[in-house]
Amino acid sequence: MIKSYFDNMVDGIEKSLASGDASARKRYALSVARLGSRLYSGKDKVAWCGVTAPFDLLNSMGVTSCFVEFIGAMLAGMGAADPLLGKIEDAGYGPDTCAYHRAVIAAAKDGMMPVPDFLVATSAPCTGGLAVMETLAREFSRDLFVLHIPQTDDPDSVSYLADQLRELTDFVAFHTKVPFDMEKLRAASVLTNQARKLMVDAYRLAAAKPSPVAGKTLNNFGVVVALLLGTQEAVDVCRSFRDEFARKVERGEAGVPGEKLRLLWIQNRIQFKNDITDYLENEWGAVVVADELNAVTFGPIDPDDPFPGIARRSISIPLNGSVDRRLENLLSMCRDYSIDGAINPCHWGCRQGTGASAMIATGLKAAGVPVLNMDVDCIDRRNFAPGQIKTRLEAFIEMLSENKGV
């Protein structure tokens, strides 16, 4: 089912691009669909991974890899998560645990995920994800490599993780029977740096007033584009966004005409079909111009010594480390994007994310940025009450509009 979903998606988008729809979002969707298609092709070496795995390193070693939460999000987007969630609950997994992870385990048990050649877990951003990787390794009877991601960006931590990454190359080479090639990683690092620079430029342009983005333009972008790092595909996708935004900014063209309010979305988007961003834009001119996870928090990698730079990138992600560091990043985004208010969809079952919600709300409010904490489940739509959510969103937007005088 999933293989044909990706294959059909590739066909559909290629036709759409051929007929003249050359939007950056379309270009990006094609790359993601192609990645999905390769994962399920049965031809590629495949690794299921944790969110902060070094995808450029894996790409340089010829491994098609993906973090497992991607599958949970995709199933929700397809409207296929609900029966799987029900099944896995029947099997004894508590409904109060993360639905991304429940959906992934259910998909694996249902034969909806290809058996990988190996797995690479990461201890960040959450221990729940680590446990899922252990579960999957047993389910697939495949070897698991665990990357212990330190929580602080200091020389010892970077060195500790860089050493693990070097060990990972041996692990991968053992399983793929292809030796690690430093030249390939050097080339991948150059491409990662190019993509990174284009991302920085694209985000800077997205912060323009009015913003060239609509709420869906960069939906899930920062997390998913990481899967393409180290490839020309990532560079091309990032360049598409950068160029599209540059054209729009030059023409003064808004992603949403009549932009009145600029919103920051904290952590993950809601992955199943919902009309929240359309509703905000159409009814209120309120645009999600920034996502917490669409931020470049890492520096360029030294192609001649790439491991420390890759390590620093994994350590730097907003969901790793102290809440203070996360808050600092959010405050910086609020300033850069001239944010009027932030929406935090507190994902049911996410102890790691919701545990920080009160501190984040307090910190942002102290800086004059109102915050709406929404109790939702980003994957399990059975936990979604549209009427309740609409009232909270509407009241929040009324408050922002009234106080901004728009």
Partner 1 sequence: MSGYFLGIDIGSLSCDAVIIDKSGRILSASVVPTGARNREAIERATGEALRDAGLARDRLAAMISTGYGRDRVEDRTAAVTEITCHARGIFELLPDVRLLIDIGGQDSKAVALGPNGKVVDFAMNDKCAAGTGRFLEAMARALGVDITELAEMDHGATRELTLSSMCTVFAESEVVSLIAQGMPENEIVRGLNRSIASRTVSLAKRVCTDPTRSVVAMSGGVAHNKGVVRALSDFLTTPVNVPPMPDTVGAYGAALIARDRAV
The nearest distance, CB 394 to partner 1, in angstroms, is: 5
The nearest distance, CB 356 to partner 1, in angstroms, is: 15
Nearer residue to partner 1 within complex by CB, 336 or 375: 375
The nearest distance, CB 71 to partner 1, in angstroms, is: 26
Q: How distant, in Å, are the alpha carbons of 30, 102, 140, 350 from that of 117?
A: 25, 22, 9, 29
Separation CA 227–CA 347 (nearest Å): 23
Nearer residue to partner 1 within complex by CB, 182 or 385: 385
Nearer residue to partner 1 within complex by CB, 153 or 375: 375
Nearer residue to partner 1 within complex by CB, 332 or 403: 403
Nearer residue to partner 1 within complex by CB, 179 or 386: 386
Strands across the sheet containing 371-376: 286-291, 261-265, 341-347, 371-376
Structure tokens, 9: 């998606």
The nearest distance, CB 379 to partner 1, in angstroms, is: 16
205: nearest Cα among 238, 236, 249, 237 = 249
User: CA angle at residue 61 from 60 to 65, to 5 degrees?
Assistant: 85
Nearer residue to partner 1 within complex by CB, 135 or 383: 383
| CB neighbour class for 376 (10 Å; exposed up to 12, middle 13-18, buried from 19) | buried
List interacting residues with partner 1 (CB under 8 A).
Answer: 365, 370, 375, 383, 385, 387-388, 391-392, 394-396, 398-399, 402-403
The nearest distance, CB 398 to partner 1, in angstroms, is: 5
Q: How distant, in Å, are the alpha carbons of 47, 105, 121, 192 from that of 134?
A: 13, 11, 8, 29
Nearer residue to partner 1 within complex by CB, 28 or 396: 396
The nearest distance, CB 200 to partner 1, in angstroms, is: 34
**357 contact partners, CB below 8 Å, separation of at least 6:** 344, 346, 373
**246 contact partners, CB below 8 Å, separation of at least 6:** 201, 205
Separation CA 87–CA 272 (nearest Å): 18
Nearer residue to partner 1 within complex by CB, 111 or 387: 387
Nearer residue to partner 1 within complex by CB, 127 or 388: 388
Separation CA 327–CA 372 (nearest Å): 15
Structure tokens, 241: 């966004």
